[in-house]
Structure formats: C-alpha cells, structure tokens
C-alpha cells in the first residue's frame, strides 16, 4: 500500500519555496507534510498534499518541474527506539531506503515515517508482517486532521 | 627584416604570395576547387591587390576538412601537429613542417627582442604546453634568443612564485588575467617583463599591471591557424602591434560585404600565410576586429601595426584564456539526452579568475525526486561540456522556461565581465 508524493525541483534562488506554497494555497490544496532535500546548488521539495493530481497540475501550470512518486507511510510509536524497530524490520527484509522523513500527528502518541524504498511492495509486506501499520492515503489525511 | 624599406617589403610579399597560391593550388584540393569556381588561376595574381580575387578560408573549413584536408606538405615533411578547439565539438588540426616551426619561432624571437628581452634573461613560460601553441611558441622563441627558459606551463601559482624567486626570473609569459590573479608575482622577485596575449585585454588592465607590479606589460598576438604566438607584437612606442608581414600578410575586410577595407578602417582581420608549407592558409578570416595603420612608427620598424584586438565578428568568447564558442556548449548538452539544449552562459569578473557559469533548464523528463540522480545529471552535463572546451564551468540547474527569452530565443551569453 503506497501513497502519492509530489516532488518539485527547487532552483537555487530566493523565494522559490514560497512560490510553490503560494501556488498550492491558491488552489486550496493543503500540505500534510513536506521534506526538503538540498545541495549547495539546488533542492527538491517532497510533499504529501491533500490533492496530489490537482497539485501536480497547478504546479506545472505555474512553470515548475514536478513529478509524482509512490512512497510508503508507516506509523511509528512516538517513543525512544520507535524508529529503530521499524528499521530493523526493513534491514531484515533487505530493502533499501532511498530517502525518508517523519512527521508527528497533532494528537496521540504516534508519528508517521514516510519512506521511498527500492522495492515498496516488499517493504510493505515486511512491515505488515511485523505488525507495523502501513497507512493508506485516506488514513494519513484523517490522522493529520 | 623588421626595418626593411616598404618597397622591397611589398615586392617580397608579392613574390611569396604568388609562390603560396601556386603551392596551395597544386596541393590543397579545397583551395583549388574554390579557385576554379571563381575562375581564378595562380597566374592571375600579379599584384598584392589581386589577393582579393582569392577565396576566403574559415575556421569551419579546418573543421570540415579535419584532420588534415588542408595539409600542403607531404607527411614525411610534417614534424608537429597543433590543435585547437573548433566552433563546435570537433577540434581543428594544423600540421606544421620544420620550416613552419622555424618561422613561428622566428616571429616569437622578433617579439621578445622588440620587448627588450635578451640572452641572460630568465623566461618563465606559464602558457599551457601541448596542443595549444602558447607554451611551445614562447618556449622556442626564448631558447632561440638564448634566454634561460622555465617551461612551467599553467597553474599552481605557489610553485610559479617560488621558482620565479629562486631562479631569478626576469620575464613571464601568460594570459593577463592569470597574471592579475597572482599579482604577488612581483614581490621579492626580479620580474621586469610580462608577455601577455591569448585573450583580449585593455589599456586599463595594462596600467593596473604596470602600476601594481612595476613590470612592463607587453602585447603579443598569434593564432594556431596561422602559426602561434608571435604573429604580431607591440614595440615600446606602443603604437599598436607590429605584424611580421613578411610571413603573415594582413588584410582588413568588411565582415558583412567581405570587401577589403583601406588601412585605418576597422574591420575583420584576415591573414594569408606567405611562407607556410604544412598548412598554407589563404585569406583566413580570424574574426578578430581591428584596423591596420601605416603611419611610421618611431621605433623605425616598417611592419604595419594593428590595434590591440577589441572585439570579434562572431560569437567566440575567451574564458580563462581559452576560446569558447556557444555552439560547443550546445554540442556538450546534446550528449546528455535528458536535458534540453536550453542554456545560458554567465560570465562575471571577480577579484581572481572570472566566474564562468552555465545555466541549464531542467525538463520534466530529467527531473527525479532522487537527489543523487539530479547531482549525477549535473555532473554528466559538466563532464560533457568539459570534455569539449577543457574548462570547468559551474553548472546550475534552473527551472524550465525561466531563462530570459527574446522572440523565443534565449540570450545565450550574459557577459558582465569588466572590459
């Protein structure tokens, strides 16, 4: 079970991220979470948003380079060692993590880890088998409310 | 030769021109074909003015005839090749005979002599050695005069300064921008002469160099297609650069109509080699803009002077002393299929080496949310460009359609360097 993530190329000049956020705001799209990957020369912003198809459309229309990729969201107990448990499962299943970021829910004692794996299906199976709930898009939205 | 009276000089030039035209007509198929198309035969060249009957040659001819289509001498007479970048990805190649090398060396020696450099001077040659003619040209010129030559080539400024100091170097040959970058060159050294060329520079730069370092800054001009450094040089009276026109016959033409212009008018410099065998070049369009002057120079040399090159009639850029054509950048980008050849070259002056940046637009196809993939893309663009021009620009990835366009075309070059 995967969810869609929008990635946008960020040119190295002031105001770029603000432009992207404004474009989404004007289309009434909310950002559930985002993560920035950057180098000295450019960046990539990865976002989970309330409506990814529309987000991609409006971002492209505004001249940005954007693409959509499938990522895996998994809940993790918000306590010491919570993430380590998940990583142990993935390690045992021999899946590679391309990148990952985390966000906390507004209430409750859970956080969500977002992963991009070399093999999403295999990772999901391993996580489910180990009893770590993999979230679908609807529950991510629900939980984020 | 430098002081030869004008009349016998013109007679010598005519004699050599007639020889060259006959030589090339018999040996270089492209030249013969173009002459035949125009109905010109070698015997039609009766005066120097008749040179206008002859077809021009261009850098693209050297590229199209790569590697040796314009060679005049048989292979057993060729002793050395020099190459330089073409206007696109393909280089140009110049085969030279021993006599060509001697003529070139002689031109460099005449320049050095004119600058006041003699046996006993220690000459540090900080131009690149190898396929580029800068290093070897000054090297042989210096040795020919009996100077002690330090063939250090470019780069490693610290070592340059150390050897300059330890060996008592009195003269250095390099690009003016490289020298300005290492102004410390003068500190605790015996340096008195700088021999500067291979890129355009200005009187202001010369004044800065002379004021800051106390050396005398000399001008040298040359090009691989014609021979190398030492085609022309400035005498101490600084009236311009004396052209060794007993070997390199100059003309100035209107770059649009291609008609010859009289002495004194600014136009494109055209050279005919009149003693060269390896690669005879007839009416070679240098794309350099200048004018020829006939006023008598107080130094007594009769060889005509040209102004220092101020501009070009094509889109060639000189970056860090290297000739770069925007077409070469384009050729490099075409090797990376995911990027569109939408680019912009940005040049800016800094305190040291000029900043050289190439902005490339990212396309949807090229974009990935994986940072390694994007870094790799940037590196592949850099490698492709570097392998063609030999320089390492900064590659910046920018969003599509953000490079300013006018009438649908991106302005390829933003040159903000101080002139």
Report the range out of B8-12, B204-208, B373-377 with the highest average pLDDT: B8-12
Over residues B17-53, the pLDDT tens digits come to 999 999 999 999 999 999 999 999 999 999 999 999 9
Pairing of strands A110-117, A97-104: antiparallel
Is the model's pLDDT at B255 over the cut of 80?
A: yes
Pinpoint the alpha helices (H) of chain A: 16-26, 52-61, 82-92, 120-129, 137-144
Q: How far is B321 from chain A (nearest CA, A)?
A: 26
The per-residue b/e assignment along B173-194, b for 16 or more CB within 10 angstroms, e otherwise, is bbbbbbbbbbeebbeebebbbb
Interface probe, candidates A65, A117, A120, chain B, greatest B C-beta count within 10 A? A65
For residue A67, give the nearest of B367, B398, B399 by CB distance: B367
Q: How far is B367 from chain A (nearest CA, A)?
A: 7
Is the model's pLDDT at B390 over the cut of 90?
A: no
Q: How many CB atoms lie within 10 A of CB B264?
A: 11
Torsional sign, CA B250, B252, B256, B258: negative
Residue B377: both structure tokens together: 């893309």
Least confident of B119-128, B239-248, B382-391: B382-391
Homologous superfamily, domain A70-144 = ACT domain (3.30.70.260)
**CA–CA distance, A77 with B60 (Å, rounded to integer):** 69
Residues of A in contact with B367 (CB under 8 A): 7, 9, 65-67
Who has greater pLDDT, B410 or A91?
Answer: A91
Q: Do the chains contact at A67 and B368, CB–CB below 8 Å?
A: yes
Is the model's pLDDT at B223 over the cut of 60?
A: yes
Structure ipTM over 0.95, yes or no? no
Homologous superfamily, domain B1-313 = ANL, N-terminal domain (3.40.50.12780)
Percent of chain B with pLDDT over 90: 62
Q: Do the chains contact at A65 and B402, CB–CB below 8 Å?
A: no
**CA–CA distance, B376 with B378 (Å, rounded to integer):** 5
Q: How far is B393 from chain A (nearest CA, A)?
A: 13
Residues of B in contact with A67 (CB under 8 A): 364, 367-369
Residue B266 buriedness (CB in 10 A; 0-12 / 13-18 / 19+): middle
Q: Which residue of B has its CA nearest to A97?
A: B370
Look at residue B185 in the predicted model and tell me its pLDDT.
64
- pLDDT interval class at B338 (50, 70, 90): confident
Q: Do the chains contact at A44 and B363, CB–CB below 8 Å?
A: no
Average pLDDT over residues B184-193: 80
Q: How far is B399 from chain A (nearest CA, A)?
A: 6
Domains in chain A: boundaries: 3-69, 70-144
Average pLDDT over residues B170-192: 80
**CA–CA distance, B134 with B175 (Å, rounded to integer):** 10
User: What average pLDDT does chain B have?
Assistant: 90
- pLDDT interval class at A145 (50, 70, 90): low
CATH of domain B317-415: 3.30.300.30
**CA–CA distance, B415 with B98 (Å, rounded to integer):** 40
Residue identified by tokens 């309330």 is A50
User: How would DSSP label each residue in B248-307?
Assistant: EEEEEE-TTT--B--TTS-EEEEEEESS-SSS--SSEEEEEEE-EE-SPPTT---S-EEP
Question: Which candidate, B52, B9, B20, B74, places its Cα nearest to that of B275?
Answer: B20
Residues of B in contact with A45 (CB under 8 A): none
For residue B370, give the nearest of A12, A66, A98 by CB distance: A98
- Whether the CB of B362 is below 8 Å from some CB of chain A: the reply is yes
Look at residue B22 in the predicted model and tell me its pLDDT.
97
**CA–CA distance, B4 with B81 (Å, rounded to integer):** 32
Q: By three-state DSSP, how is residue A130 classified?
A: coil
Question: Which candidate, B197, B203, B213, places its Cα nearest to that of B164?
Answer: B213
Look at residue A106 in the predicted model and tell me its pLDDT.
63
Average pLDDT over residues B325-344: 81
For residue B364, give the nearest of A44, A67, A98 by CB distance: A67
For residue B399, give the nearest of A44, A65, A67 by CB distance: A65
For residue A65, give the nearest of B370, B375, B400 by CB distance: B400
Is the model's pLDDT at B89 over the cut of 80?
A: no
Least confident of A5-14, B32-41, B250-259: A5-14
Over residues A104-124, the pLDDT tens digits come to 776 567 788 899 999 999 999
- Whether the CB of A68 is below 8 Å from some CB of chain B: the reply is no
Homologous superfamily, domain A3-69 = VC0802-like (3.30.2130.10)
Question: Phi/psi at A57 (nearest 5 deg)?
Answer: -60, -50
Residue A100: both structure tokens together: 């990952």
| Number of cross-chain residue pairs from A and B with Cβ atoms under 8 Å apart | 55
Q: How far is A30 from chain B (nearest CA, A)?
A: 20
Look at residue B42 in the predicted model and tell me its pLDDT.
97
Residue B93: both structure tokens together: 């190649």
Is the model's pLDDT at B183 over the cut of 60?
A: no
- Whether the CB of B398 is below 8 Å from some CB of chain A: the reply is yes
Residues of B in contact with A69 (CB under 8 A): 369
- A window 87-106, beta carbon within 8 A of B: 98-99
User: How would DSSP label each residue in B187-249?
Assistant: TTS---EEEE-SS---HHHHHHHHHHH-PEEEEEEE-TTT-SEEEEEE-TT-SSEEE-TTTEE
- Whether the CB of B399 is below 8 Å from some CB of chain A: the reply is yes
pTM, two decimals, is 0.70
Q: How far is B402 from chain A (nearest CA, A)?
A: 8
Average pLDDT over residues B100-118: 97
Over residues A16-73, the pLDDT tens digits come to 899 999 999 999 999 988 999 888 888 999 999 999 999 999 999 988 999 999 999 9
Peptide bond into B417 cis (omega under 30): no
Is the model's pLDDT at B127 over the cut of 80?
A: yes
Look at residue A107 in the predicted model and tell me its pLDDT.
59
Terminal Cα distance for chain B, rounded: 35
Residues of A in contact with B400 (CB under 8 A): 63, 65
Residue identified by tokens 């021109």 is B17
Least confident of B22-36, B143-157, B337-351: B337-351
Q: Which residue of B has its CA nearest to A46?
A: B369
Domains in chain B: boundaries: 1-313, 317-415
Residue identified by tokens 């969201």 is A73
């Amino acid at each position: 079970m995967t969810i869609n993530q929008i990635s946008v190329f960020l040119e190295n000049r002031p105001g770029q991220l603000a432009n992207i956020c404004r474009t989404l705001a004007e289309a009434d799209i909310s950002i559930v979470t985002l993560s920035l990957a950057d180098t000295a020369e450019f960046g990539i912003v990865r976002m989970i948003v309330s409506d990814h198809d529309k987000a991609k459309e409006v971002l492209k229309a505004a001249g940005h380079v954007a693409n959509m990729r499938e990522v895996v969201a998994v809940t993790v107990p918000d306590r010491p060692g919570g993430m380590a448990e998940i990583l142990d499962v993935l390690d045992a299943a021999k899946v590679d993590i391309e990148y990952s970021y985390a966000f906390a829910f507004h209430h409750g004692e859970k956080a969500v880890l977002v992963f991009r794996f070399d093999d999403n299906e295999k990772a999901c199976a391993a996580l489910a088998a180990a009893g770590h709930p993999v979230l679908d898009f609807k529950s991510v939205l629900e939980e984020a409310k | 030769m430098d002081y030869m009276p004008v009349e016998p000089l013109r007679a010598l030039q005519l004699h050599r021109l007639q020889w060259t035209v006959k030589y090339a007509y018999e040996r270089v198929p492209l030249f013969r074909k173009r002459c035949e198309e125009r109905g010109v035969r070698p015997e039609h060249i009766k005066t120097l003015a008749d040179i206008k009957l002859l077809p021009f040659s261009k850098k693209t001819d050297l590229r199209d005839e790569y590697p040796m289509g314009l060679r005049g001498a048989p292979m057993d007479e060729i002793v050395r090749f020099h190459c330089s970048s073409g206007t696109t990805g393909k280089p140009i190649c110049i085969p030279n005979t021993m006599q060509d090398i001697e003529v070139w060396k002689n031109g460099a020696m005449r320049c050095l002599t004119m600058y006041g450099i003699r046996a006993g001077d220690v000459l540090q040659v900080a131009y690149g050695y190898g396929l580029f003619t800068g290093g070897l040209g000054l090297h042989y010129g210096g040795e020919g005069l009996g100077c002690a030559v330090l063939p250090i080539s470019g780069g490693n400024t610290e070592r340059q300064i150390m050897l300059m100091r330890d060996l008592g170097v009195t003269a250095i040959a390099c690009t003016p921008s490289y020298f300005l970058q290492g102004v410390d060159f003068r500190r605790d050294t015996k340096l008195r002469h700088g021999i500067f060329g291979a890129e355009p520079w200005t009187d202001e730069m010369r004044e800065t160099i002379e004021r800051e370092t106390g050396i005398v800054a000399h001008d040298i001009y040359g090009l691989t297609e014609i021979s190398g450094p030492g085609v022309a040089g400035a005498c101490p009276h600084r009236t311009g650069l004396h052209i060794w026109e007993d070997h390199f016959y100059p003309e100035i033409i209107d770059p649009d109509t291609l008609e010859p212009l009289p002495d004194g008018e600014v136009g494109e410099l055209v050279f005919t080699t009149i003693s060269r065998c390896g690669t005879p070049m007839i009416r070679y369009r240098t794309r350099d803009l200048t004018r020829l002057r006939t006023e008598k120079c107080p130094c007594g040399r009769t060889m005509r002077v040209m102004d220092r090159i101020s501009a070009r009639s094509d889109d060639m850029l000189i970056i860090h002393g290297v000739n770069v054509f925007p077409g070469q950048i384009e050729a490099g980008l075409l090797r990376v299929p995911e990027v569109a050849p939408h680019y912009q070259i940005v040049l800016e002056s800094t305190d040291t080496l000029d900043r050289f940046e190439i902005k490339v637009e990212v396309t949807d196809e090229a974009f990935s949310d994986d940072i390694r993939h994007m870094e790799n893309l940037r590196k592949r663009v850099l490698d492709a460009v570097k392998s063609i021009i030999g320089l390492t620009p900064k590659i910046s990835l920018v969003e599509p359609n953000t490079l300013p366009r006018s009438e649908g075309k991106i302005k390829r070059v933003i040159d903000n360097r101080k002139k």
